[in-house]
Amino acid sequence: EGDTIEIDIPEPKILEVNPQDIALDILYEDDDLIVVNKPRGLVVHPAAGNHDGTLVNALMWHCTNLSGIGGIIRPGIVHRIDKDTSGIIVAAKNDRAHLSLAAQFKQHSITRVYLAIVVGIPPADSGTINAPIGRHPSERKKMAVVPGGRNAVTHYRVLERFQHNALMEARLETGRTHQIRVHMTHLGYPLLGDIVYGKARSRCAMLSGQALHASVLGFVHPGSGQYLEFTVPMPADMQELAAKLRLE
């Protein structure tokens, strides 16, 4: 009692986000927005453990202006795809475009189609998974199908069946964190390469991450009001994987 304890509180580190000359695969660009095909392994915006080398750093180098609504860490960023998912992402160059795109995402009016290779073969050619998603009760970095989670709907179609796997199309009605990965695991068919959700069953030497690619993105242009839709084929690593599975 009566002891004085001194505590050193370190100065808070201010996270600086700097432009970096990282190559971008640009699908479309105008004064309002930019649409890029993100490679697997590229983080969308800086966060703990990934302070640079992100899509945001690349966009800051390439674009004179980006919307400020996301704050200094996420300029231009309206939506995200996971680090180890490849595919199409749209970024906003001004706040008006950002608000318009964000509203479309909120209303679930944006077209989002993914290609995935799963472990196992779903018997039905198509179906809908309607199961709420929230934080995993014990593993906080993971999401899970949980009672009282946020409404989550995925429409799927089997495009091709292999010996032990299937190539699927997943159309997002909602866009929850890890939605396709969680829903397909819930259905009993985790994504190949997704050891977070599929564990040992999903191990795949040919991929660094889950076999998931955002192949179609469609939205109404914030300025012109015209509907734009972009399509990108699977990246080389997923195409090679599918070719190998065909031969099994």
pTM of the shown model:
0.91
Instruction: Tell me how far apart the alpha carbons of residues 150 and 240 are, in angstroms, rounded to a whole number.
Output: 36
Tokens of 47: 């966060």
Tokens of 8: 């050193």
First to last CA, the chain: 73
**Mean per-residue pLDDT, 27-43:** 97
Greatest alpha-carbon pair distance for the chain in Å reads 76
Tokens of 24: 């971008």
Q: Report whether pLDDT(128) > 70.
A: yes
Give the pairing type, strands 26-29 and 33-38.
antiparallel
| Superfamily grouping for domain 110-217+230-248 | Pseudouridine synthase (3.30.2350.10)
Domains 12-107 and 110-217+230-248 share a fold: yes
In this predicted model, which residue has the larger pLDDT, 4 or 237? 237
Sorted by where each begins, the domain ranges of the chain are 12-107, 110-217+230-248
Tokens of 107: 């209303």
> Which CATH number applies to 12-107?
3.30.2350.10
**Confidence class for position 147, pLDDT limits 50, 70, 90:** very high
Q: Give the tens place of pLDDT for each residue, 179-189.
A: 999 999 999 99
Mean model confidence pLDDT for the chain: 94
CB 246 within 8 A of CB 123: no
Q: Give the tens place of pLDDT for each residue, 169-213.
A: 999 999 999 999 999 999 999 999 999 999 888 899 899 899 999
Q: Cα separations (Å) of 122 from 23, 93, 169, 178, 187?
A: 38, 41, 12, 20, 9
Q: Which of the following is catalytic: 82, 84, 194, 237? A: 82
- Does the active-site annotation cover 82? yes
